[in-house]
Every structure is written in C-alpha cells, then in structure tokens.
Structure 1
Amino acid sequence: MNRYIHLIGLWILALAMAGCQDEEDSAREGGTGFLISLTNDVEVTTKATPAVLGEPLKEKFKLKVVNDAALTLKYYDGNYKEGLRVNTPAGRYCLTAEYGTNPALALDDPYYKGEITKEVEEGKMTSASIPCKVANALTSVVFGEQPEGQDFTADFSDYRVEVSVKEDDNHDYVAPVEIKDNGTSAYYRAGTIPTFTFIGTVKETGKPYTFPLQDDCLTDPANFAAGKHCKIVLTMTKTEAGLKVNVSKVEINRVDIQETIPLEWLPKPKLETEGFDEVDKTTLYRLEGATVKRTAKLNINLAKGYGLDELAFSVKGDPELEGDYQLSKMTEEQKQSFKDKGIALPAIGGLNPSIDFTDATISVKANEDGSDATLSLENVVATANKRSNESSSYKLITKKIDFGLEVYPGDTWTKEFTPTLVYKSGDKELFNRNVSFEYSEDGGKTWIASSKDEAIKGLTPGKTYQARSVCLGLVRDKEVKTYPEIVLENGDMEDWNSSTRKLILGATFWTSINVTSYSPNSNIWACVNKKTFEGNPNIKSTYNLNPSTYREVGRGNRGYAAALRTVGWDNNLGNTTNIIYHVSAGKLFIGTYDFTHKKGPESYNYGMKYGSRPTTLNAYFKYSPYSGDSFKAWIVLENRDDANDVKRIGYGELVKGENVDSYKEMSISIEYNPDYKEYYITHMYVVFSSSSACSENESEETENLKGKVSEGDYHSGSVLTIDDISLIYDK
C-alpha cells in the first residue's frame, strides 16, 4: 500500500511596517521591511515523512533576503524563526528558501528550494509566497517484479546497483553510492546524468557478475531534471551462457513538494554526530584530566511529528556497560548505569532523540599503563515509522596528552602578547588538530578566542590578562601582564645644573673669562663633565678645562636641548695651543659617572632599573661634525638577574656623519635577541656620543680622537645637540 505525505506550501509574509497598524496585530512597531513567517506548516497525512527534515520542519528551512540589485547585500541569512522581522529599505529583494545540502551524490538526501523577487514599498505591507519544489533528482531500483523466477536472492549471494557521477563543480572526485534491495535511493544534482552498473556475486559459482545498465531513458537529460524520479526495474533470466540481468523498464515520474510524494522518496532515520572528531566523525576523543565539558551527541534525525520507536546497540570496552541493548526493554537501573558514566540515553517516543555524551567528556581516564581506553558503541540502529537506518558504530577513545602554555617575556609587549603552545607528549596530530587558545580581559569571567601562536593585539598597557590553551576540554592557563609605557625622566632636557669657573683664555694670563658647564638635573642622566671640566690642572685655562656637555636652545626655539661636544682637556701640567694631552667625546647617557683626578680611574655605570619593552628610541638632533667625524647613539636593554652573566636582550644603534643644521628626528629600531625571550628586562640605558670613536677607556679614547679637535685657545670638535628623547611603544 502506498504511503504519502502532503506538503502544503511554504509561505513567507513580508510586511512593511512604517506607519501601519493591523487590527489583528496592533503591537507591531513601525518601520519598513519584512516580517517573515511561514503561514502554512507541513500537513502530515501518514507516518512516511522524510526523516532528514527533523522537527520542526519549518525551522529547518534556510531563509535568505538579499537586495536584488546587489546580491552581496544581505538583510537576512539564517534559519527561520517565529516572528522573525527583517528591516530593509524600500526596494526590490530576492527571497530564497532552501532545505538540504544538494549533494553531488548521496543516499536518501532530498533538497528543496524556492525563490521569488518582491518589491517593498515605504510604509506599505508586502506579502510574498515562495513555492518550494524538489530541486534535486533521484533514482530507485526495483530488483525483480516478483513473479516466479524473479527472486534475485535465489541466484545471487549479494547484489546492488552502483551509481556514479562525474566530478563535482570543484572538479573533485565524487565517490559512487550503492543502491541495495532495501529501499534506498540515490540522490544527485539536477542535470547530472549518472551511470548505473549492476554488481553481484553468483551463488552457484562465487564469481562476480557485472552488467552496465543501458536504456535510452538513462541517457536523456530530461529524465534527470529537478524533481524527476527515475525508477529502474530489473529482471533476470537464465540462458545457456548463465544468468543475465535485464533492464525491464524505466519509469520517469515528476514529484513536487506541492504534490504527493511516493514512499521511495522518504529516507530512513539519519544518525549524525555532533562534537565528534572533525576527521573521523564516528569517534569522540576525550582527554584524561579534562575539566571543560564539550557538547557531544549522536543525533537521531526523525520525521516531523513522529518519535523514536526503538534504539538497538551494543557496548564494548567497559565491563560495567558491556552488552546488547534495546532501549524499549532497558531497566531504569541499566539506564542509570549509562548516566553514571555521563551518557544520557533518549526516550522512546522522543521527537528529537539523541545519545548525549556531553557529561562523558570530563572526569575520564586512560588505561593505567597510559594507553588509550576505548568504549565502543556498535551496531546502532534507530527505528521510526517502521524504517531503520543501516547499522553504524562509534567509539569513545580516552587519551593522555600533555602540553603547556607559555607566554614568554620576550613575546610580551605593552599592547600585545603572543602565546606559545608547548606540546610535550601524546597524540601530537590530535593535539594540533584540536588545541585552541583563549584569553580573558575580566579575570576569567568571559573568554575571547584567538588564533594559536599569533599575537593578540590592541591590549591595554600595564594590564593583567588571563590566557589559556584548551585541547578537548583539557586546560592549561597562565596570567599575563602587559608592560607599562614608561616615560623617560627629563627626556625633554629642560632641567639642568650649572657650574661656572673663571678660566684663563688659552695662554693669555692677563685675560680671564667665565665658562659655564651644564649637567642634567636628573636621577637617571649623566655626562662626563666631571672629567673634562672639574679637574685641577696646574693652569686653569681653556686649554685644560672644557665642558663636554652644556645646554642649547631647544627644538622649535623653545626650552633647552643638550649639546655634546668633543673636547681636548688636561688635569696636570696642561695643554698648549697645539699640544693636546687628552681628548674626550661629549656624552649623555642613562646611568652614573665618576672620574678620579689626576689619573683616574674612570667609571661608567650604565643603566637604570626598567621593566618594559619599547620598539624604538626616538629623539631630535642637530650635528656639526669636525674632521670627518660621526656621532653615535645607542640603546641597550639587559637582564641583570645574575651579575656574572648579564644578558643583552635588546639593542639598537645609529651612526651618522653628515652635517644637520636644523633639528631632525632620529628613530632607532630595537632588535631583540630571540635566544633570550624567556628572560625579563631588568635594566635599560641610552647613550649619545658626539663621536662614534668614543671609548670607556680614557687613554684609548684619546688615541681614537687625535685630530678630532681644533688647535687654539679652545680645543673643540664635533657637536651633537639632542632634544625630546622618548621611548616608543608600538606593540
């Protein structure tokens, strides 16, 4: 007896809401656009509803509303929802309703589609009806018409018809499907012309039998259009040469969603996993130690309005659960045993049944020897409306994977940090496929997903964040604090200390002048005036006492700047017009300086305590080189946790020799040593020198700078003027 369903129209009402008030719906808000609803549901007259449609059918349809003139301008793209309202401007729109995936080739997978174009007028109600039709095609096979001699099972131990199609739209290979003598049908895209081959094994001989099915109807494109059902009837005859399979007839029927659909269009219950492995969708991987639950289900998709009649399955791998089960015959105690293991079984009669493994994704253990623990769910068969799926099997595999999360100091900046996921042991391929990274801005209340091993940007300097990596519910977390943006003290060079001395002008003993040196009034900046200007030579002359650092007018003729000058000096018998015993570059640096007259020692103590990570050293400068000299500026960032093993983490320098008359910006990029990324920066210093030939050893520096200062009453060389020194934090 034939079974039918009547599918009565899919309707969409589009209501323009601006200024309108309907008596039946006075609570509507104003506006223009679509108020979308399905005015007619599916009327079921038998229990032969397609199982893939699920419950409720109307909420499984995908709706799309796009501008007809600009199809990429979408106003809605998603599932139907009760009372769905889509606001649009007045205009012309394309409305589409779809159900299914339109596979290149599959068993029992119908596809429905409808499309119309409608105008929306400002302030008016617009209704639209979308007639949906079957949009793919199918073939079913009848193996014999059952008169005597037409029983295929009498002569074949197995038999089927293999259906093949050419490559899909992406030119990818499409695997064939097999139509067996069990009511299954092959679905394919409209316009595809499949090929059909009978394949069987002869009982008497055990030999294979292959026969391409040929008929004029099987090459006519019209017979494979949308909504066309190709029904192939096979018969079998015995000849002297053996068995022969014939195509008795081919029937082509038109089937529409608005019309009666025969039973052969109706698929069986369809089992689909949710939250299982992305590669092997029949396997659910679990990790020992996992604490975050993951949604994991075996969904049993049934026809609308009809519940689960029976569920049969077997369990292996767990002594407490092993056995064969029929859901309708299970005791409450048996069901509770599954629940205690985190497995929730469905109820007989349920409209949306599933086996829920969510609670089984945590608090699980691998075998004591560290090997995988496997629980198998085998021969799973769901029955609804006297139709059953082909049996299928699934596995729950518990593994041990060890990994960590690192956010190294060298991967942390003021506005970003980069996590490093560290694999240690276990299934590496599974780890790489499933590990993810998240971070939290609110102490772990909410988490933001981010790409693993990529920088998380746009953060707040000096703020504490939580970071975690998650693999199949197993968590590794870490607290991360971005660096603060530290501003250099007196980087604008506005605060100075001065020292004035009355000196003889060269060798003119009867002429004295006042000479003033300036040193930064700062806790961090130092210069070498103590060496070049604060000695006690036999003759206090401009030959011997010469400020290597003083102040000048600042950038933009505002405030002050630091002037660094290469000078000749002496703190003993004294220089002359052309005899210069000592030469020093003018220097400005972060740290402290000391010089013991008359023979030293000289002590440079570079650095200040510092805890950040800049990208650039920035300043403005002028330079007046002497005798082909060049200036040098550099920045150093170090870890000094071990005084005997100071690590240079970051460095940048600039050397230039051209004359610069007006202030110009310098930017020194800092390069960080990746070998030291696990070390924090503890100290930092910046150095500016009027000569790149400078040295921390006084005699060596004098040797390097011979000829770099002038003769006469003043022994002066290159002058580097520096203003507005700053650290830049671009990351």
Structure 2
Amino acid sequence: MNSRQLVKLAYCICLLPLFFACSSERDEGNEGSGTLHVQVNANTEVLVGTNTRMDEGTDESILDVNDFSFSIFKGETLRGEWATLAEFLADDELTLRSGNNYVAKASYGDVNNEGFELPYYEGNQPFVIKRGQTTTVEVTCYLANAKLSIVYTDEFKDYFSEYTAEVTTSLGNTVNYVSDETRYAYFKPGEVQVRVKVKKKEGYSQEVTLKVGEDYALEARHAYILTLDLDAGTPSINISFSDDIPNQEPVTIIVSDEALSAPAPYFTANGFNDDQPIDVVEGKSAEASEVYAYLNAAGGIAHCYLTTHSSSLIEQGWPETVDLTSVSAENLSAMQKLGFQMAGLGDKKDKIAKIDFTNVVPFLEYTEEGTEHLFELRATDKLSKENVEPLKFRVSSKDNQFAVSAGQSVLYGTTKMKANLTLDGDPAKVTYWLKKGETEQQVVPSSVKSNGTSHDLVFKFDESQYADIQMEARYLRRKSTLNSMLEAPAVSLYLEYPGDVWTKEATLHKRGTLDESWTFQCAKWKKNELGSWTMQAYSLTDDAIFLNALTDSTKYTYRFVKFDESQDIIGASDTLSIVTEKEFQIPNSNFETWYSEKLYSTIGTIYTFYPFAKDSKTENRWWDTSNTKTTPNPGSAGAWYYRSFPGTVPTSEEQYTATYHLNKFDKKKLATGGRNGSIAAEISTVGWGTGNTWTAWSQKAANKTAGSLYIGNYTNKENYGKVFVSRPTKVIFWYRYYSYDNESTEPLVEVYSEDGSKIGWGKITINSTVNEFEKAIINIDYTGNERKKAAQIRVIFSSTNSSSPKSKAIEGEQFFGVGYWDSRHIGSVLTIDDVSLVYDK
C-alpha cells in the first residue's frame, strides 16, 4: 500500500451539542436573549502529497471532544476560556450581547509540543447571537501540525548493522526515531532537518552521522513519509520524500568506505572561544583584532548555514537563517552593511572558507530586554556529513552610556552652543542633527574635548538661532535629544511707524540696553535671498536709530549682535526687515509720447491731443489734459478755432501751438519747440464756445479756460492723482512762460496718504515771461506727516492760476469770406519739459 492510496484506518467525528441562554449586557445596546447551540467536530483527515486525503488513523487514542479546550472571542478580546468543553457546559455566568460578532474556538494539544502521540487540533467559527432565536455554532477542528514517518527499505536494513534517525525542528527540538519505529511524529509547521546515524555490517565499522537532503518544509494537516533505500552496487543511500509531492530532486548519499571514513567538516574559531561569550561595549570592537571562523571540509563544502539570534541585526535586514553558499544579493547586501565579510563561499566554494565577524561586533546593540547575541555555524559537505556540533559565537553587549545634554542656557540669536556627550566609545562616530521645523540639518562640533566617557562639545552654526535649539545625536541606532532653551532677546528692534522708511533713510527703534560689546549689522537681500551680514553705520538718539545712504526699493534686515573673544556671535537681537521706497519716476515725463485725434474737419480741421500712447491701458496713462472740455463741436459748417481748440499741445505739432499763432499773427518772438530739441508740452489759456462769433468789429469769447496738464484723468471733469507709494522730496522741471495781462501760474505737487489726508505738498509761483527754458524746483514739505506712507501723488501744471483768465483775440490769415476759421483766443502760455522726481530722504 503506497502513499497514493486512500487509507481508512479509523475515522471519528465526535459531536457534543449543548445549549444555554445568552442575555445582552445592559451597557452594550439592545436588551434580549437567545439560545446558543454549540457542536464541536474533530476531522482527522490529512493530506498526503498534494491532493490525496487519508484518515489520520488510530495510532493515537481516540479523540474525545470533551477533552478539547474552548474559548469565545469578541474581536481580539477574549470573552471566555474553558479548559474543557465540560467546563464550558457547566458555566452559567457568561453573557453575550445579541447582534455582536463573536468567534468560537476549540483546540486540542499544543502546537509547540513536538514528538510522537502529540497531535494538535484547532478550529474556529464566527457567529452572531440572534435575539429570541437558537444560534447553532459548529466548530470543526483539523490537525494543525504536521506528521512525519521515516521508513527503511529491506535493502537498507540488510546493509547496515545499526541505524537510527533524528529530526531537528525550528523550535530547537530533536525527535529520535529508533530503528524499529513505525509511528508518525508530530511537528509544528515549518522546516525540519533530518539526520541518520548508520554503521555498516562490513567494511568501515565506525558510526557515521549523515544529513539527509535539504531542510524539509512541513505544512499543517499533512502526513509525510521519508523513505531511505540503498543501492548496494554504488553503494549509496537513496532518499525519497512523500512521492506525491511534485518537482522533487532525488537525494543520493555515497556510503563507500572512503566516503564514510572521510572527516566531517569542522570550524576553527579565532578571536573567541566556542560557546563562550565575549563582553563588548556597544559600538566598540572586540579586544581581538580579528574575530572570524575558518571552515574546513575535506569532502568539499556543500552548505554553510548561519543562524543568528540578534533582534537588533534582524530588525535591520540581517537574515535569521541563511545558507552562506547561496545567499541572495539582498541578504548579502544587508549583512555587508552591518560589517559582515566572507571568503571561499558562493559559486567558487571548495574546501576552505572564512566567515568574518570582526566588523559586525560594533553593530551589536545593548538593550534592557537582552544583551546577548548568538551566531551558530553549521556546515555540510558534499558527502552529507555535518560538523558534530554547531560552532557558537556569543557576544554580550554592554551599555555604552550614550546620552547628550545641553550646557547652560544661551542667548537669543547665538551661533554657538556648548553641550556634553556621555559615551563609552568614539565620539567621532556620533552625528548631530539640528531640527528645522519638519526638516533637519547635520551639524558637526567645532571642538570636542574628552575626559574618559565625558566629552565637552562646542557647536558653531552657520546662522543665528532665534528659537529654542533642538538637536538629535545619533550613534549607531541610538538617539538622544538635546533641547537648549534660548534666553529672551536682550535687545529688540521695531519700526514705530511705517512711514519711518523712506528711499534713502530710515528710523528704527530699539528696546533694551546696549554696551560696547554689541555691534549693529545689516544684510541686504538679493532676489529673495538674504545677503551676508556687514557692520552698519548709524546714529543713536535715545532709542531711535537713524540710517542713511540706503538704496531705494531694497529689502534690508537689521540686528544687533554680541561677539565673544573668538569673534563668534553669542547673542543677538531679534531681526527687523524693512523695504525702502522706490525712486519712481512718472512715465512720459519728458513728454515724448502723444497721440492725436481728428475731431472736426469741414472748413479747417480741429484736432485734440493726448499725452499717452493711443492703445495704452488706463492704468498706464499718467498724464492728462482738459482738452476734451475746450474742444466741443464747433457747430455750423466750419471748424472754427475760436470756438473749439485744445489748450495742451505737443510742441512737435507746431502749427497748432499757441506760440506759433502768437509769433505768426501777433508779431511775438517767443521760443518754440522742446528742450534740447525734444518734444515739450505747451499749455495755453483757450477761449472757446459754440456760440462764439468773429467779425471785423466783434471777437468775444464765451468761455476762457486755463490750459492744464496734470497727473490723473479727465472724465467730464479733472480727476487729479494716481496711486503712488513713494515720497519724493522735490519735483524738478524745465519751463518757458508767456504771461498775458501780468498773469502768473503756480505748478503744484501734493502727496496723499491712504486715509485721504494730505501729507506732503509744494508749489512755486511763475509771474513773469521767461522765453528760454529755465529749471524749476518744487520742494515737497512733509512737516508733521513724516511717519505716514504715501498712497497718491498729484502734479498739476496750468497756464494761469487766475480764476478769471484773460485771453486775446488773435486773427489768423483766413479772411471773413471763410469765417476767420483759424483765428483764436489765446491767453498765458506755459511750456513744460523733463519733469523728474527727486528723493533726498
């Protein structure tokens, strides 16, 4: 009968129905009760090979479910546990809540008990108590460990006078199979190793221990048969393992006298003694300069197994058990990172190998839970012989006392900090990480002074520290946190008013007392990056700090710093950043950009002129005029200048200027054109009105309006001003002036704050004719309002400041037959060029 046959040695299903009432707990929801019917079954079928089932048999005593332990869980919480079903039946104190999810579990034996007659059964079943109903819970238990039988063929028995087998498990248990053993032994699922001890009847007469194949993986609810046969012709032992399992490689062991008499592999320890621990402080090396094991295998190295018992190494990727002759690249990389080295193993293995732990020792960690680390080496040669006992390398790690602490508190803004490191080890192997919010930056101590296990540290930072210093020290996998509290700033800076910052000057204020050890510093920003700190000149009156020679539209950051004798910053004020105002110039203040628009064209043509580009956006139009007011529809059939004409004209359109008309028709000799040959803006008083008439005896103007040029825009009225956040101290411009009837003009500048109040203003009076360009300066007075920021600027030029301007009728060359259409009413004329803003403060 082979293992493919379905064998029915015995089959037992034991049922035990029992009933009890369940009532819900008052604090768990709905009240109610139901009946629980529990049925426990033991299914003794096992798998042989891949898909063949057979009954487990009657080699053990008949299972009685009354001997099964029983428990009930609610999620992960144990609600009740009974050593036997009988105890469960007798328990009338258990209460279960209807509607809750529970799991019933039954078991027999202990999976960690391995050997003969030690089966372990287990089963569980979820259930829900239904109020007012009977809930049936059927728990079927299956074999939860594996069973293994070792069979010897008659040929094998005839060849050897003595033979026994032993199975070693992952739990460290060893189960011996005597020569006449026919029973199955039970094992926790996992890998096992099988060895056979044999003594030949003839020839080599010494007992020899042989490892039978590779490690075998056993699964729960499986029965396995290991068969040992002999081929006397070779001679060799042939091993088969549960022939229902596919893709198995046959195992053959040569048992000639020569093979059996060959020495088994053995290890030689260097730098340690087998199974005797060496004491090493965590992070240090062993006293011996080298710690390694030599492997000698006269029969040729087949396998070299390393088993490691070290939680710290395994947590870092070191394999718990590994065959060093076929270690994966991933495992080897993890081991090498932790100092492991080997030679003579791998693809080119022969008879000698070296397993080196020298650089592994410093990585062995001390923990309060356990300090010992164990490495076990086993080797198998190509003749299936093993070293008699595994070589054991033990290390007992000692506490290195690693800790770091801050020294005395440090001043706000310091770039220097003292700390103390306690370490029985090399302080150079400690790294330090300065916490920066969610990030961290590695820092290196600039000085380390050691005295035994105490090490005084000095740190110098690249920049001042303005928050409590948090630093983490790391040594191997140990971490220690250092927190150094900063004292409050001895000096602080503040800006009393936003308007204290101009384009070239600023006034800051301080709190706190300064002595000569404090230095005032400034850092200028460039493209959103803080520049280097430099000493800053300043004058101090009480708590006011006066700064000058600043650059416009620039961000500055200021601070006071305190240096020690090494010129390291050991304290600082808080920082204060300011941005200077921009030296903004009003666009088109040289009046080179205009565009014209033809308004009326019949007999004569009337144009108006705008001091900005035709397609420019409203926000980009800074200057405007009152031309729209003085150029209404002239009416009737002619385009009469005396009825409609612009008061502000670019000098490049000379034939439309008042100066041109005065020179040609009134015999004046006024200068024309712009300054230095450029374009200027001519601003003249205009007489206009639709009802105006011109005859040889009557030339009256219905309306007389001073020409104007101003910052702002015209929408049925003059809207003065544009948004402007700088504060110029002067306005410079060049002008010519023709004063008619002794009139004067007053160019005006006004600066307003955000609340609409006027904070700066200035004007000059021009009261006589000036025929060549002269330079004019308007000083802007901010007295009493120096601390307010600007929000708007107004610059206004007018041909006259008279509320009733005068004009003169100047007849053109077009006679009465065409209506005198080029005749005009002209008053005072102001020509402006090259307006600029000056920022002295």
TM-score of the aligned structures, taking structure 1 as reference length: 0.38
The one of the two structures with greater contact order (alpha-carbon pairs below 8 A, sep at least 6) is 1
Structure with max Cα Rg: 2
